[in-house]
Amino acid sequence: MILQALKEYYERKASDPDIDIAPEGFEKKGLPFLVVIKPDGEFVNLEDTREKVGQKLISKLFLLPRSQTRTGSKAYTKPFLLWDHKGFLFQVSEDDEGKEKAVHQHQAWLLSLNNLPNALKADDGVAAILAFYAANGVEKVKAAGNWAECAKLKSCNMTFRVVGDNVPVPCRPAVQHHVRTSVLKKAASAASDEDEQDEKKIFAHCLITGEYGEIARTHGRTPINKDTKSLVAFQKNSRYDSFGKEQSYNAPVCKSAEFSYTTGLNTLLKSERQRIQIGDATTVFWSGKESSLENDAFFFFSEPPKDDPDRNTEAVKALYETIWSGTYVVPDDSTRFYVLGLSPNAARIAVRFWHVGTVREMGTRFKQHVDDLAIAHGVKIEPALPMRRLLRSIAAQEKDDNIPPNLAGEMMRAILDGTPYPATLLQAAIRRNRAEQDVPYPRAALIKACLNRAMRFNNPKNEKEITMCLDPENTNIGYRLGRLFAALEKIQSDANPGINATIRDRFYGAASSTPVTVFANLMRLSNHHLSKLEKEKPGLFIVRKQLIGEIMCPISDFPPHLDLADQGRFAIGYYHQTHDLWKKKTDNPS
């Protein structure tokens, strides 16, 4: 189902003339450097194609003949057509251990050039490359002023460009015609019985299309980071071999379908709007037909760009309002919407989750996610917190590297399924509250969402869901004690303006988990602060005294311990009461 959906996505994009996607036999690849030569092969200069985007240098993309999957000890025997990394082109290794390997790679590269069809050798660009090597141009390239920049790039992909051409040699019409012709010839041979006797080829019915054709022995790379390779792969000579079938012959996928799904997935992985990366989890999403949600879903989970900080907010707000008002209309409610979660693994990419629903269903789930996170936050309205910001709020030092493994994927799965967030998410949020002795906005929103989703799903006590703002009617002991703690802190601040450290900095952890150990002492201290207020600000003294009485009304005793859920309610009660006390009012008593 996953591969079929990816293949359909590729075919949809390929059929749109306004979308630039690689046709079969090609791939979009970045080439950081181009070796510029004259038609007679003389070296001119080493051209850097990279452009600075933000803080990164991004290589220019070119439509190149598709690369091959290279594995095993004989990987050096498979150079790409007229482009490859510097080890093949210039016999350059990353370290001393790779020097011998680089020699074999360069020899294979030169042999592949000599074995090119005569029709290709007749092309001026290809002829210039052959002349370059005949004139020993390799040493001239290594003597170029910017060669050091190229040499330090790991597996730097390169090719040649002839002076006067706007595109490199692999992009010349003659080369691209050769590739397209080769693809047509392979398709024609797959339909005949003549090549079935070729022991190097296996023909069978494709699991994706059901058509009879040549099966791909290895599948193309779809890397989600520098250490991962393919989505589909079988280790050779392993327990996965059966009935004499090796590698991907165990799961027969014809070469055309393999190209389609890998190109579709790589297109999604390079997309700015259909891919999000949080922690170790990479998520891509797309719909069966063109839909607004396919582009807008990105805004629910990503942070806004620095040059346009309001873009995500406005996009989410617009989509949220159309769903909420019932005006969110799609051409067909049954249009499929796909979400694929991937994570790196030692052997191959691991599928973390795979969710299929309708566009309307997904839009409703996203709306529920926004509703659950909604909590008072000053005067600024934020319709949704980016998922990365939520997870950073529970990580030490708010670093991506400290986000607990697998948590991003599990949270995304809960959003898509409409189920409670993982229990570890609430635990991590409460631990960070205690470690930092504070309840910031993102963590408060996350705790509220965790509690409400859990109550909605289980609801054994038919408890009332936590509201967005202060709820004076909520009598839960955890929520009440959180409110009380915020009130006591405010009384301390009112009585001692300019105080550097409050009771929160010393007692939040104990107050939120073992109330009986600290609240009796805090109540005695508050009497001292209230006495001071009574003398200096009698009006404020009455307001604060009444607030303490209102909060304490249903509390008969301080419990010895609060469970995890009530510790979360303590955090929300503290956050709500603090927000209510510190917000600007026109009738502040004095």
Cα–Cα distance measured from residue 480 to residue 493, given in angstroms and rounded to the nearest whole number: 20
CB atoms within 10 A of CB 406: 15
451 plus 482 within the same structural domain? no
| Residues 383-396 as b or e (16 or more Cβ within 10 Å = b) | bbbbbbbbbbbbbe
Contacts of 48 (CB under 8 A, 6+ apart): 32, 33, 146, 149
Q: What are the distances in angstroms from CA 524 to CA 393, 535, 549, 581?
A: 34, 18, 14, 21
281 plus 427 within the same structural domain? yes
Q: Where a domain ends, among 137, 157, 180? A: 180
CB atoms within 10 A of CB 290: 13
Tell me if 479 sits within 8 A of 439, measured CB to CB.
Answer: no
Tell me, what DSSP letter sits at residue 471? -
- Residue 328 has phi, psi (to 5 degrees) of -75, 110
- Residue 415 has phi, psi (to 5 degrees) of -65, -45
pLDDT score for 310: 53
Q: Number of folded domains in the chain?
A: 3
Tell me if 341 sits within 8 A of 414, measured CB to CB.
Answer: no
User: pTM of the full predicted structure?
Assistant: 0.75
Is the confidence at residue 311, as pLDDT, over 50? yes
What pLDDT digit, counting tens, does each position of 516-568 carry? 999 999 999 999 999 988 888 888 889 999 999 999 988 888 999 999 999 99
CA-nearest of 425, 360, 349 to 392 is 425
Q: What are the distances in angstroms from CA 23 to CA 11, 26, 27?
A: 10, 6, 7
CB atoms within 10 A of CB 581: 19
Cα–Cα distance measured from residue 448 to residue 525, given in angstroms and rounded to the nearest whole number: 30
Is the confidence at residue 382, as pLDDT, over 80? no
219: in domain: no
485 plus 450 within the same structural domain? no
The per-type count for the chain, helices as H runs and strands as E runs, is 21, 14
Contacts of 113 (CB under 8 A, 6+ apart): 129, 130, 133
Average pLDDT over all residues of the chain = 84
537 plus 453 within the same structural domain? no
286: in domain: yes
489 plus 431 within the same structural domain? no
Is the confidence at residue 290, as pLDDT, over 90? no
Tell me, what DSSP letter sits at residue 331? S
The pLDDT-based confidence of 227 (bands split at 50, 70, 90) is: low
The residue segments making up the domain with residue 412 are 271-457
Residue 237 region, left (φ>0) first, then alpha (ψ -120 to 50), else beta?
A: left
| The pair of three-digit structure tokens given for residue 533, joined into one six-digit string | 């207020």
What pLDDT digit, counting tens, does each position of 72-131 carry? 778 888 899 999 999 999 988 877 667 888 899 999 999 999 999 999 999 999 999 999
524 plus 453 within the same structural domain? no
162: in domain: yes
Tell me if 567 sits within 8 A of 482, measured CB to CB.
Answer: no
- 47-51, 239-243, 276-280, 542-546: the lowest-pLDDT one: 239-243
Q: Give residue for tokens 């949020």.
A: 429
pLDDT score for 1: 85
Segment 193-214 mean pLDDT: 72
434 plus 574 within the same structural domain? no
pLDDT score for 332: 46
Tell me, what DSSP letter sits at residue 413? H
Cα–Cα distance measured from residue 112 to residue 73, given in angstroms and rounded to the nearest whole number: 18
Is the confidence at residue 193, as pLDDT, over 80? no
Cα–Cα distance measured from residue 573 to residue 482, given in angstroms and rounded to the nearest whole number: 4
162 plus 293 within the same structural domain? no
CA-nearest of 266, 341, 332 to 301 is 341
Tell me if residue 203 falls in helix, strand or coil: strand
Q: Where a domain ends, among 180, 201, 216? A: 180
452 plus 308 within the same structural domain? yes
CB atoms within 10 A of CB 420: 19
298: in domain: yes
Strand partners, 58: 51
- Residue 384 has phi, psi (to 5 degrees) of -160, 140
482: in domain: yes
CA-nearest of 457, 296, 289 to 363 is 296
Tell me if residue 492 falls in helix, strand or coil: helix
pLDDT score for 132: 94
What pLDDT digit, counting tens, does each position of 18-49 carry? 788 888 889 989 999 999 999 999 999 999 99
Segment 227-239 mean pLDDT: 74
Cα–Cα distance measured from residue 45 to residue 41, given in angstroms and rounded to the nearest whole number: 12
349: in domain: yes
Give start and end residues of each alpha helix (H) in 496-563: 503-513, 519-536, 538-552
The pLDDT-based confidence of 358 (bands split at 50, 70, 90) is: confident
277 plus 156 within the same structural domain? no
147 plus 293 within the same structural domain? no
291: in domain: yes
565: in domain: yes
**Which is more confidently placed, 587 or 80?**
80
Tell me if residue 556 falls in helix, strand or coil: coil
- 208-212, 227-231, 488-492: the lowest-pLDDT one: 227-231
pLDDT score for 238: 64
Q: Give residue for tokens 């510097």.
A: 86
Tell me if residue 281 falls in helix, strand or coil: strand
| The pair of three-digit structure tokens given for residue 400, joined into one six-digit string | 């991506």
Q: Where a domain ends, among 180, 202, 228? A: 180
374 plus 444 within the same structural domain? yes
